[in-house]
Amino acid sequence: MADSFGPVLSGREHSGPVPDGSESDSDAFRKEPIRVLVVDDHALFRRGLEIVLAQEEDIQVVGEAGDGAEAVDKAADLLPDIVLMDVRMPRRGGIEACTSIKEVAPSAKIIMLTISDEEADLYDAIKAGATGYLLKEISTDEVATAIRAVADGQSQISPSMASKLLTEFKSMIQRTDERRLVPAPRLTDRELEVLKLVATGMNNRDIAKELFISENTVKNHVRNILEKLQLHSRMEAVVYAMREKILEIR
């Protein structure tokens, strides 16, 4: 754990306090801080993340948990915006806890923060509803940036893991071309437009601007798309878009 703990707490050495009046555009739009639940079986790592995130004015750590079972209870009680959670933990692992957290706190978005770079863990986390998958080698600045991005409706994956995903997506497309047993559900033209923009990583606000519709309308379209395709997250929608060649992989 020591090897992974250092890099996560690095990247702050040269950053000072943010001067008054220098908040970003996203900070200006957000009235309340992003509420984060930190879940990891190492108390020292949890404490380190709390100390680092406490420096971010727009992020508030509202609780912590030492395993997946405790995380589900805390999520139900605290209703956080973001759950920052390890994959491998005693009693109940993070991936197993994802589904239960989505049931008790549907609005919570889950970011896996782990040392596991195994493809199986990445795929299982996405299937379970995780919106992000980050390796603990990233800097603290990147953790805060990922929290903001996921809170804003985007998906976040460490670059090395993203390349594995793309390789798997291409393989999925090849297999689908070879054998297509069930016709894909029909989406309306507008839903296809929205899905394409979701797959490029756009958040709801940007999609609304691009299509000249309201943000609420975008949310309704995304919800309808997920229901029609029987998907659980925007990230799964990206997988679908690539598999069905709605979004071309170059």
Spell out the domains of the chain, with CATH numbers in brackets. 2-11+26-158 (3.40.50.2300), 168-243 (1.10.10.10)
| pLDDT at residue 123 in the model | 82
C-alpha distances in angstroms, 57 versus 19, 22, 27, 217?
A: 12, 12, 9, 30
What is the number of other CB atoms lying within 10 angstroms of the CB of residue 164?
16
Stronger pLDDT, 10 or 115, i.e. the higher one? 115
Measured distance CA(92)–CA(49) in Å, rounded: 21
Mean pLDDT of 216-223: 91
Measured distance CA(191)–CA(189) in Å, rounded: 5
**How many DSSP H helices and E strands does the chain contain?**
12, 6
pLDDT in tens, 198-211: 877 678 888 999 99
pLDDT in tens, 156-204: 887 777 766 656 555 555 555 554 444 556 788 898 889 888 877 678 8
Give me Rg for the CA atoms of the chain. 18
pLDDT in tens, 96-140: 999 899 999 999 999 999 888 887 788 888 888 899 999 988 888
Measured distance CA(151)–CA(139) in Å, rounded: 19
Structure-token pair, residue 198: 């979701």
Measured distance CA(122)–CA(127) in Å, rounded: 9
pLDDT category of residue 248 using cuts at 50, 70 and 90 = low
Q: Which one-letter DSSP state was computed for residue 25?
A: H
| pLDDT at residue 236 in the model | 78
